[in-house]
A and B are shown apart, each in its own frame.
Chain A
Amino acid sequence: MKARLGAALRTQNTSLAAVIIVGTIVLAIQSQGGFLAPISIRTFFEFLAIPIIIGLAQMATLAVGQMNLAVGAIGGFASCAAAILVADAGLPGWLGGILAILIGLAAGLVNGLLVVLTQINGFVVTLATMTILAGAQYAMVGTRTIQASAWPELQAIGTAYPLGVPLIFWLALIIAIALAFAYRHTLVARQMLASGGNPLAARLSGISNNRSLVAAHGLSGLLCGVAAFIVLCSLPGSNKSIGGDWLLSSFAAPIIGGVSLVGGTVAVLGTVLAAMVVRLVDSARAAFQLDPSWVNLVIGAVVLGTVALDRVRTRRPSATRGRRRPPADAPPTAALRTVERGAGA
């Protein structure tokens, strides 16, 4: 029922929007209007671009029923690798930017291929690649910070403010809109959602779940690469700590935004709005001069609350749905057993 689903999404998005508006008003009053000053708005959106992109990166894997724990590690590694190639090997800055994106894509594809070829759970695979890439990032840069002055052309992107809003935020928004279109209308996205929604049914409908998994991880990696590109554009340098704190917010945005953890759904608008809410919490922390650890506490609590609420909301229909479970008296067929064993491959 579209009306019902639409209503549910609308309430989710409406309440997120309401939180954003109320939060903005509270912050505006608290700062006596300072929060709405052009410079504050710039800062607000500047630090919103990356949360949106990594939230979408996580959403891409959640949509096929997987996770990408390596979101931050891929972004951090890609930005540092590109930074070194530009600063030390003398590559032009724009090429470094493109390379950051491609490194992200490659890392995502490797994740997907590992999941498919080894049949190991995506959680474990990305946990491993996260550790490997984070280690590689540290080995590459050590304690050094590679100064952004080495790639002025990318920095120019980071300091452009069309219509008073950072270009990198417009970039994130355009990517979000493109993704929303793609998830609605493209073949590969509908196949990914089918694989995530019911791998067995997808397989029996002639869809390759393996391809969906590789595509989803590839897309996720690509978006991590874009996040690395934005790092190069907007931050004063790259070092070992880039990406280190991305994991929680990458999950927070899609989960608060309404993406199902079991796969089969996406919520691009919800993810963008939720990233905005998280950013507001961060702004509030600064405005009220609270300890930074409060931000994590609040976001963690909100994530837990959202998931709990989601469980309560979906409990009733799921009782009649019995998804992915054969009736107790029907012996599972060979194909079903394979699917259950192989993490949805």
Chain B
Amino acid sequence: MSEVYALEVRKVTKTFPGVRALDEVNLRLKPGEVHALLGENGAGKSTLIKIITGIQPPDSGELLIGGEPRSLSSAHEATKAGIGVVHQERNVIADFTVAENITLGNTPTKAGRVDWKEMRAGAQRVLDLLDFPIDPDTPTSLLSPAQTQLVEIARGLYADSAVLLLDEPTASISENESDLLFTVVHKLAAQGKAILFVSHKLEEVFAHCDTVTVFRDGKVVAESAPLADYTRDSIVDLLVGRTLAKLDVPERNPSREGAPALELRSVSSSAGHRDVSFRVHPGEILGLYGLVGAGRSELAEALLGLTRITSGEVLVNGAPVTIRSVGDALRTHGIGYVTEDRKAAGLFLDQTVEKNLTVTVLKRLSNALGVVRARSSRETADEYISSLDIKVSGRDQLVGLLSGGNQQKVSLGKWLAADTGILIIDEPTVGIDVRTKGAFYQLIWALAEAGKAVMVISSDLAETVTLVDRIAVMQDFAITGIVDNTHDYESMSKSVIRLIHDEPISSVEVQR
């Protein structure tokens, strides 16, 4: 083949401790095409994006830009090499003007000073190209999310990027705004730019893309193929058609009689939740599945009193409650929350395993004078180190020095120490290797067996299907359906994905 690709990925492999994130993946992106990159959470899309944008180097394999092999060691180099990126999260400086943001990183200068005239002219040039009628001197903070996104695209154009990578650009904008975005995308493709489009919305993909690459479990299952060869169903098959690693899954039959440990009745929150209702019974594991940004962690925060519940009712053990703070949730209502981001929000990395494990129960461990009983504290720490099989040199080891799996055990352990009746576990196995994952599942099943009501928030569908009793699907801060988990991955993944894509479902029972 003599064709020159705008971007070519050849046999790229990337391994993280315990996980092969990318396994010899290929991708070829032609100038003038809109190329969809699809894959479930954890399939390796994000890793590939990081490699293409120079944030992480690949372990092996090649990256060719415009036919030239390149090794990118920073995001800056990727920009210089002609790769423009529009991230899912807005990436502009709100205090700067539109022109300043468009020229960011390539600010025109004259004799060492900022050339304001050229900056405005250059910005206006790309804005005209996009048919985006906005004054370059407008402060960026006044723009809507979609307009801000166009500013980012304009930045890619200003830098003269041959490749434009759009990472879930429509995740946080309205339909009208998406239309505007796609108009621009098609115009750019017509000008010969290569567009790599990452999305979870299949409708968009089918409406606007020419070719498709599908990732599953770090491997490519469809590579740079014409989208016309596929149907929506065949794409869904490609996305989810994986068989699970063998795991000792127990026969679970939780009773749903009596008062639920936790019940939400039409709960709306200041974070934007609408009419969320579900029940979790003692001994039951409810999965809360959805895409990143669907509002699942935010729901946990509302239950912890971190965001305000504006209407509806929360019932704990059948009694309506008002939760004012995390301390209130923990000590009065017995709700524990294992955060998804153990490093940022779960652990005190510079402190010892003992201090981390006892942080939720300091009050219980201290005497009337407020002095923490040293022996009780040590015993509590040792108890969970041994029951969770945390690999440490001792209770005085600093948590920051433990492996991810052991850190996660500490993060979970402090909530087991708190002994709450309701446990919300957010992304229990993120960044954890397969073997430890299994240990975590066993642990969570054991917790449920012991009568705890467990809610598992996960973006990993395979994990959800393996682990939980029922799956509640959340999309845009609302529950779109709750299905009984048959533990059959094929059928469950299809019904869950349909619920996310907001299609009416007929074949599965919906309880609301």
Contacts and interface: CB of A to CB of B under 8 A. Distances in A.
B397 interface: yes
Interface string A304-332: 00000000000001001111111111110
Contact of B398 (A1, A191, A208, A325): A1
Contacts of A331: 88-89, 292-293
Contacts of A191: 362
A104 interface: no
A205 B88 CA distance: 30
Interface of B: 46, 55, 88-89, 271, 292-293, 297-298, 301, 304, 306-307, 325-327, 329-331, 337, 339-341, 343-352, 355, 359-360, 362-363, 366, 370-372, 374, 393-394, 396-398, 400-401, 414
A326 B325 CA distance: 22
Summarize B's interface: helix, strand, loop or mixed. mixed
B347 A198 contact: yes
Contact of B292 (A190, A204, A330, A338): A330
A264 B350 contact: yes
Nearest to A260: B350
Most buried by B among A3, A198, A323: A198
A317 B400 contact: yes
Contacts of A200: 344-345
A204 B346 contact: yes
A265 B366 CA distance: 21
B350 A190 contact: no
Contacts of A213: none
B20 to A, nearest CB: 19
Given A324-B344, A326-B344, A206 B327 contact: yes
A320 to B, nearest CB: 8
A338 B305 CA distance: 13
A334 B308 CA distance: 11
A187 B368 CA distance: 10
Leading 7 A-B pairs by shortest Cβ distance: A2-B396, A206-B327, A206-B330, A197-B348, A187-B366, A200-B345, A187-B370
B359 A185 contact: no
A276 interface: no
A75 B280 CA distance: 56
Interface string A189-214: 01101100110111111111000000
A187 B350 contact: no
B398 A201 contact: no
A201 B349 CA distance: 10
7 contacts: A4-B398, A185-B372, A190-B355, A198-B347, A204-B326, A329-B292, A334-B301
Contacts of A5: 398
A336 interface: yes
Nearest to B340: A330
B496 to A, nearest CB: 21
A329 B171 CA distance: 13
A2 B366 contact: no
B350 A325 contact: no
B347 A201 contact: yes
A204 B411 CA distance: 11
A171 B75 CA distance: 57
